[in-house]
Amino acid sequence: MDVEHATAGSAPVDRRLRTAIAVLGVVALLAGIAALLLPHATIVAVVWVFGIYLVVAGATLLVRAVARGPSGTPSTWRRVGSVVLGVLVLVGGVFAILHPPVGIRWLTLATGFAWVLEGITLLYAPTAGNRALVVTGAVLSFLSGLILITLPALGAVFAVVAVSSTLIVSGIVQLVIAITWTERSAAATERSTS
């Protein structure tokens, strides 16, 4: 039976969808458990991905510095600025890949400063809703940022635990959906034919 001609309640579509959800649930569950059991490796993997991103971003800036855009050739200062920024970003990415502990520290500091700035911004932002909730969010963001800046290792561990827990819960939910799929699907099919 062709998937294009199958209806939402047909057996081939249900089986494929159920299998896809089950596979996703298993992968999420295993990734969450692995991240929880190996937090250092998880943090290093995140820094490597961040480093690869920085290498690509730096290379893109370098290409943009020499490329001719739709508005013509960029000014000399724009080119020089793009080259300098591109080299700095590229070197930062290579450094993060080769020295993950330093990359972890910088990533944690950047996140901490972002949260501090977010907290300050929220305090001064105009609000149409509940001001007490906004102030609470601002204080929590500010304090979380300060904790990350002063205790980066603790912040990194909490981040890994939060992500791991989310993956584990998501995996369990998806597995339950996949396991109970046939019962719900059969019940829905019986109701629609009656």
pLDDT (0 to 100) of residue 148 = 86
In angstroms, the first-to-last Cα distance of the chain is 24
pLDDT (0 to 100) of residue 52 = 92
Q: Quick check: is 1 in a domain?
A: no
Two tokens, residue 88? 């700095």
Q: Quick check: is 14 in a domain?
A: yes
pLDDT (0 to 100) of residue 98 = 92
Q: Quick check: is 47 in a domain?
A: yes
Domain coverage including residue 123:
7-193
Split into its structural domains, the chain has a count of: 1
> For residues 178 and 159, what is the distance between their CA atoms, to the nearest angstrom?
28
pLDDT (0 to 100) of residue 191 = 61
pLDDT (0 to 100) of residue 168 = 93
CB atoms within 10 A of CB 180: 11
pLDDT (0 to 100) of residue 75 = 77
**Low-confidence residues of the chain: pLDDT under 50:** 1-4, 6
Q: Quick check: is 2 in a domain?
A: no
